[in-house]
Structure 1
Amino acid sequence: MKLLVTGGAGFIGSQFIRYMIAKHPEYSLVNLDKLTYAGNLANLTELAGNAAYSFVRGDIADKELVARLIGEGGFDAVVNFAAESHVDRSIEDAAVFVRTNVLGTQTLLEASREAGVKKYVQISTDEVYGTLGESGFFTEDTPLAPNSPYSASKAGADLLVRAYGETYGMNVNITRCSNNYGPYHFPEKLIPLLITNAMEDKPIPVYGDGLYVRDWLHVRDHARAIDLVLHEGRPGEVYNVGGRNERTNLDIVKAVLKRLGKPESLITHVADRLGHDRRYAIDATKIRRELGWEPTVFLEEGLAETVDWFVRNREWWQKSKAGERSYGA
């Protein structure tokens, strides 16, 4: 199989590439990435010289580049990770999110359709569903109700994927995951931000009361799920991928501080994010039932491993963090 992976220099995309090359060494993977602030080829240094992997720098919204690459590439499948993905940045400037997440997705879909690509997988997010109360879970049938420009742009992309499946008969799947964590996570996101700030004894900004609930999924488990959907997902289906690890933001912050031996006095409550969703929780029954996927990394184990990775890889995150602003949790 020959795969085009877009956004493969980012956190989740690079994990997927490393996973696929290890599991399917007979496959050929091409990584198309614009290398924006969150794209980092250092995430893939272990693949240097690997004949199964190649890199192309480019923008998924560049129609000519994408049409040429997919038209001439002979790809069996396209897996789209490429996206602007930070809620706070989308509040400050929504236009770039619409361009990359909506127009970029349509550009990939059209080129894939014209080239006869056999499978297209869109990597989405549970944030397209909006927010939950204190009980209940998102299922694949939950209506889309995005509350930020970021999640609205991802919902728009999902609807385009669905439309290309319905209108043109393309073999498409959408995966919607809960919050990922693990090694190589760009340090503006919650867990790497609080780890790196704590290591430097800097304040850890926590939005509002810190009781916002997220379901945490280790990035390795996410890569396994996407592999299964790529090979076995039924055409046109959406699959939720959740870790069954609901925690408040404060729970996560305190666990990291404990692992690092740092005081809770570093916690600094800051003004809340606009339109902040209170709770996300995924029902992943469908992917477990149809594809046999189960999360294998418990949060306590995965969080400890992640903290230790950042401790060992200070140079990586210091370079990634240089010049970047910090957001809250």
Structure 2
Amino acid sequence: MATAILLKTKQYPENARVLVTGGAGFLGREVINQLHGRHPNWTIFCLDLYAPNHAQSPLIDQTYEVDIRDRNAVFIALASCKPDLVVHSAALIPSGAARYSTRDSDWQRVKAVNSNGTVNVLEAALAAGCKAFVYTSSIAAVTDDLTRDYYYIDETLPIGRATLHYGRSKALAEAFVLDPAHGAAGLKACVLRPAPIIGPEDTQVISLIHGLIAKGETGFIIGDGNNLSDWLYISNAALAHVLAAENLLSSSTAAGEVFFITNQQPVCFWDLLAAIWAELGHYPRRRTKIPVEMALVWAWLMELWGWISGREVGIGRGSVRDAAAVRYVSCEKAVKMLGYRPLIDGVGLREGVRRSCDGYKKQLAARSMFGGKGSASG
């Protein structure tokens, strides 16, 4: 109901031209689906390293297979399609041990895509005459600081404390996107900070949590188990992007603003893991609570063993702190300014977990059929 009212009361360009970077990826695909569904007359372009799947192709006018680190190629692509609006969702999200890496080589790799790549896309957009820009940042731009907890924070909390590579890169890109000089040049831009996203085509979150079963790492809880965290279902993530795009192409009240985007259903981190394991048919016989300090010593020993053996270890001090941290935020600003209401228009977290795990099971079945290992790490 709320979505229908928004569509009737706001005036959008009849034939807008929209470019989605990362359009063949997990989030980008759903953004394109929803853009087409709400605005079938809009012309949609996709820029990604890879071509979109066959089911998505009819929704896209043209695809540019471009690496956003390639500045010249990005400029050529945007000069060709001349978008009215860019949704920039392309990013590199480190996974596993790389998520907590302190190596400079890993930082340079993440920064090259998430920060330098964003500079390339935005400056190419300006050169092509684009007037609106939605940037997909992350809640990690704030919360990738493992020295403190975050209890129901809002967008007034300044960035700059993130120490992990992913959050640092996103914070740098945010600052660039919202540089007042771009607004003075006529670009209306806003930033979305989604929580970790799950969905049927997710290839990171569910597989990582499923992988803990094979490693025998489901029988403990780090800390007291009451630490709340935010999550986001894929259709709700895409809805927020479409609402932001619609705002910038109509009233533009979101220009210059930052928005946290979650399912508005913070849940105990360890309860979510248990729910995912249950959907995948695994029920730990016992779950022993381990004090954070003890877990950190254990993690340090694991890191030491990994350094000596030359092998990647699954548990380190970064992952221990992350698993015990409090990470939940307010979406009140997105509700008021964008009309974002996931619990009215979208999928709730419990149903989102079920759908995500069903999709993951299909991925495992497909891997098995085509000769894969049929496991999360395969």
Note if contact 2:200-2:356 (Cα within 8 Å) is conserved in structure 1: yes
Q: Deviations over 1:249-290 (max 9, x none)?
A: 321221122223323159899633427442221211011112
Q: Deviations over 1:108-155 (max 9, x none)?
A: 111111111010110000111125966632211111121201110110
- The number of equivalent residue pairs is 315
CA distance in 2, matches of 1:16, 1:205: 35
Note if contact 1:176-1:239 (Cα within 8 Å) is conserved in structure 2: yes
Q: Supply the RMSD in Å over aligned alpha carbons.
A: 3.1
Which residue of structure 2 lines up, in the alignment, with residue 254 of structure 1? 274
Mark the CA change 1:254 to 1:325 in structure 2 (over 3 Å): closer, same or farther.
closer
Which residue of structure 2 lines up, in the alignment, with residue 31 of structure 1? 46
Which residue of structure 2 lines up, in the alignment, with residue 178 of structure 1? 195
Mark the CA change 1:323 to 1:316 in structure 2 (over 3 Å): closer, same or farther.
closer
Return the match for 2:358 from 285, 308, 317: 308
Mark the CA change 1:202 to 1:324 in structure 2 (over 3 Å): closer, same or farther.
closer
For the residue of structure 2 that corresponds to 1:121, the secondary structure is strand
- Does structure 1 residue 59 correspond to structure 2 residue 77? no
CA distance in 2, matches of 1:120, 1:317: 37
Instruction: Judge which range, 216-225 or 307-316, deviates more.
Output: 307-316
- Does structure 1 residue 237 correspond to structure 2 residue 257? yes
Letter in 2 for 1:23: R
CA distance in 2, matches of 1:204, 1:220: 32
Return the match for 1:291 from 321, 338, 347: 338
- Does structure 1 residue 4 correspond to structure 2 residue 54? no
Q: Deviations over 1:269-327 (max 9, x none)?
A: 963342744222121101111222111322111111221222234345668x879995x
The residue correspondences of 1:100-115 to structure 2 (distance < 5 A) are 100-115=113-128
Mark the CA change 1:168 to 1:323 in structure 2 (over 3 Å): closer, same or farther.
farther
Which residue of structure 1 lines up, in the alignment, with residue 300 of structure 2? none
The residue correspondences of 1:46-195 to structure 2 (distance < 5 A) are 46-48=55-57, 50=58, 52-86=60-94, 88-89=97-98, 91=101, 93-130=106-143, 131=145, 136-144=151-159, 145-163=161-179, 164-166=181-183, 168-186=185-203, 189-195=204-210
The residue correspondences of 1:198-237 to structure 2 (distance < 5 A) are 202-203=214-215, 205=217, 209=222, 211=225, 213-233=228-248, 234=253, 235-237=255-257
Q: Deviations over 1:32-82 (max 9, x none)?
A: 1124xxxx84xx33124x164432211112111111111121211111111
CA distance in 1, matches of 2:352, 2:374: 28
TM-score by length of 1: 0.84
Mark the CA change 1:221 to 1:204 in structure 2 (over 3 Å): closer, same or farther.
farther
For the residue of structure 2 that corresponds to 1:65, the secondary structure is helix
Letter in 2 for 1:203: K
CA distance in 2, matches of 1:325, 1:314: 8
For the residue of structure 1 that corresponds to 2:329, the secondary structure is coil
Note if contact 1:176-1:238 (Cα within 8 Å) is conserved in structure 2: yes
Which residue of structure 2 lines up, in the alignment, with residue 22 of structure 1? 37
Letter in 2 for 1:151: G
CA distance in 2, matches of 1:291, 1:6: 21
Structure 1 residue 89: Cα displacement: 2.4
Runs of 4+ residues deviating >6 angstroms: 266-269, 321-325
Larger radius of gyration: 2
For the residue of structure 2 that corresponds to 1:110, the secondary structure is helix
CA distance in 2, matches of 1:119, 1:205: 46
The residue correspondences of 1:249-288 to structure 2 (distance < 5 A) are 249-264=269-284, 271-274=315-318, 276-277=321-322, 278-288=325-335
Mark the CA change 1:47 to 1:168 in structure 2 (over 3 Å): closer, same or farther.
same
Letter in 2 for 1:112: A
Note if contact 1:202-1:266 (Cα within 8 Å) is conserved in structure 2: no
Letter in 2 for 1:173: C
CA distance in 1, matches of 2:182, 2:83: 18
